[in-house]
Amino acid sequence: MNADALKELLENVKNGQMPVDRALSTLKDLPYTDLGYAMVDHHRALRSGHPETIFSPGKTVTQIVGIARRLLEKDANIMATRADRQVYEALKSICDPVEYHAAARIVVMNRKPVTPTQTTILVMCAGTSDIPVAEEAAVTAEVMGNRVERLTDVGVAGIHRLLSNREKIEAASVLVVVAGMDGALPSVAAGLTDKPVIAVPTSIGYGASFGGLAALLTMLNACANGVTVVNIDNGYGAGYAASTINRIANRTTKDR
């Protein structure tokens, strides 16, 4: 339940359109429901602006469905991340509408229209192999109500590809920069803009990349200012952080 839904409920009680007992029944599961295997956090949207996200790996399909059923009772725009098609098919049987973003490996349930921000998040990736992580960031940000631009295959091996997109870089309020191999792209991108840069190392690369550790260390040691780094392959975390920053930028734009 988000802030708008709670305000509507209280207004309905105030105006006599909803009995107090019914309102109490609606609120009784706040702040969470104990399913035995999960404490489903119904208070998350009120605190942070977006409902709890289901991280699929390590959970059985039955557990994922059980958590989703509880969230669907109170929330919209619910995401299940790192979800395969089996998870999608199971969730499709309990929810309409449901979307599967295959590249991002994200299932979106009960999606409701959200007015997109005026300000923009730019999600860029160094190589085509980095697209799944970049898409996880982009879809996450879009579901959270952000205007998102994408820029693909602009790694430092062909720096002219990045430089020819200076207008997109300058127009964004925050950049999510995804790269594997040597992980150099975020430092270069940050040197071209005064906007925050969220760097995402991926596990793409040959043996000495150590599953993304080399890219992670490069990004942590970036010489450009304004670079913040999330964990290896954590597109969701980057998209969420970018959304938080972009919402602040959007409010500032509206107040002008």
Q: What is the pTM of this model?
A: 0.84
Which residue is it, tokens 């109500």?
145
At 196 the pLDDT is: 95
The strand pairing partners of 54, in sequence order, are 80
At 5 the pLDDT is: 63
How far apart (Å, rounded) are the C-alpha atoms in residues 110 and 45? 15
> How many residues would you count in the chain?
256
Omega before 97 cis (within 30°)? Answer: yes
Q: Which residues contact 255 (CB under 8 A, 6 or more apart)?
A: none
| Mean pLDDT in order along the chain per 10 residues (256 residues) | 64 75 62 74 72 91 92 84 95 91 93 87 96 97 94 92 92 96 94 95 94 96 92 97 92 70
Q: State both tokens at 120.
A: 């923009």
